């Protein structure tokens, strides 16, 4: 009887702990995705600068951050590699938000260290309130690492990781000096565990996640906000290799819907998926499966997507 009593108590403690955890997660989700959308701060005032800098801004999530920040009254410095697409997004912002200023910088982040003096020149006279480190690359579809070319591997390093560090070094001193500012770093749900067949991409996003969290801890009390966004599938160029992850649905939002959800969480959540359905997916998989279990699921899923992509080619 004594053993049964002990087991019953342990079971009750475990259930209570789980219920409390779920309740706290629900409250946190409501605060991030509901309450945050009911408040609209003046971003330029809150973060101490009229300019927002967005990398990888010509399509997808980056494009939407640029558009929606402009609609919130921020001037936008657009940084990407394609001149024509930069011109397109600049004209779109001028049409939608004629009261804001826009400038463009055409650079290719895959070139590494050599491009940042040029970017620094454009930043020199600007009070940057918000930096969105969005630029990123991924392989054309899930694949074995031995199939990844040398240039593609270096692009992952220079674009996904080095750009975030270099851009942060350019704007952070000014933010710290003013005692205000915000840095938004785009990681991925793929940073939550190793992802077979997208291992290089997953590893670079772990770097983004860890660097962001470390920086956020260091900057406590400084007035500078650091936010990590870890989205799941969004209908961008990165997901065009499969109809299963490129067609809009409840769990695969388009960029406009995703950023409309993610942007209001700035200042309310330091680390978030940015979108309620992605948060729900992550909660369920984390609660139901071990790290190895999640890797197994990704292994099976990405094998299917790889097979589909190769068949389409």
Instruction: Give me the pLDDT at residue 310, please.
Output: 86
Instruction: Give me the pLDDT at residue 112, please.
Output: 96
pLDDT digits 0-9 by tens, 203-218:
999 999 999 999 999 9
- For the chain (313 residues), the mean pLDDT of every run of 10, in chain order, is 60 61 57 60 95 97 98 98 97 98 98 97 96 97 96 98 98 97 97 95 98 98 98 94 90 97 96 96 91 94 92 70
Q: Is residue 158 part of a domain?
A: yes
pLDDT digits 0-9 by tens, 5-59:
665 556 666 566 655 655 555 555 555 555 555 667 899 999 999 999 999 999 9
Q: Is residue 26 part of a domain?
A: no
Task: Out of 47, 65, 201, 233, pick the active-site residue.
Answer: 201
DSSP codes of every residue in the chain? -HHHHHHHHHHHHHHHHHHHHHHHHHHHHHIIIIIHHH----HHHHTT-SEEEEES-SSHHHHHHHHHHHHTT-EEEEEES-HHHHHHHHHHHHHH-TTS-EEEEE--GGGGGGGHHHHHHHHTT--EEEEEE------SSS--GGGS-HHHHHHIIIIIIIHHHHHHHHHHHHHHHHT-EEEEEE--GGGGS--TTSHHHHHHHHHHHHHHHHHHHHTTTTTEEEEEE-----SSGGGTT-TTTTS--SSS--HHHHHHHHGGGTTT-SEE-SSHHHHHHHHHHHHHS-HHHHHHHHHHHHHHHHHHHHHH-
Instruction: Give me the pLDDT at residue 244, please.
Output: 86
Residue 80, domain extent: 43-312
**Domain count within the chain:** 1
201 is catalytic: yes
Instruction: Give me the pLDDT at residue 243, please.
Output: 87
Q: Is residue 19 part of a domain?
A: no
Structure pTM?
0.89
Give the domain CATH number at 47.
3.40.50.720
């Amino acid at each position: 009887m004594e053993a049964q009593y002990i087991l019953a108590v342990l079971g009750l403690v475990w259930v209570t702990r789980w219920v409390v955890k779920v309740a706290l997660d629900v409250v946190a989700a409501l605060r991030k995705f509901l309450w945050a959308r009911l408040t609209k701060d003046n971003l330029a005032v809150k973060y101490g600068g009229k300019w927002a800098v967005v990398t990888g801004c010509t399509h997808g999530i980056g494009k939407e951050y640029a558009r929606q920040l402009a609609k919130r009254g921020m001037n936008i410095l657009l940084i990407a590699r394609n001149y024509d697409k930069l011109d397109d997004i600049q004209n779109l912002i001028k049409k939608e938000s004629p009261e804001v200023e826009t400038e463009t910088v055409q650079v290719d982040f895959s070139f590494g260290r050599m491009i940042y003096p040029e970017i620094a020149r454009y930043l020199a006279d600007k009070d940057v309130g918000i930096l969105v480190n969005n630029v990123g690359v991924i392989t054309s579809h899930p694949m074995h690492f031995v199939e990844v070319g040398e240039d593609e591997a270096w692009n992952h390093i220079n674009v996904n990781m080095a750009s975030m560090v270099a851009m942060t070094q350019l704007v952070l001193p000014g933010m710290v000096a003013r005692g205000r500012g915000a840095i938004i770093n785009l990681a991925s749900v793929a940073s939550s565990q190793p992802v077979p067949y997208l291992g290089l991409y997953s590893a670079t996003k772990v770097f983004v996640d860890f660097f962001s969290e470390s920086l956020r801890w260091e900057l406590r009390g400084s007035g500078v906000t650091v936010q990590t966004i870890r989205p799941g599938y969004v209908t961008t160029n990165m997901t065009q290799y499969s109809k299963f992850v490129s067609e809009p649905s409840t769990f695969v939002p388009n960029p406009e819907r995703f950023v409309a959800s993610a942007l209001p969480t700035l200042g309310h959540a330091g680390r978030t998926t940015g979108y309620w359905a992605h948060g729900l997916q992550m909660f369920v998989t984390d609660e139901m499966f071990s790290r190895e279990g999640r890797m197994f699921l990704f292994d099976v899923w990405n094998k299917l997507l790889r097979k589909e992509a190769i068949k389409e080619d």
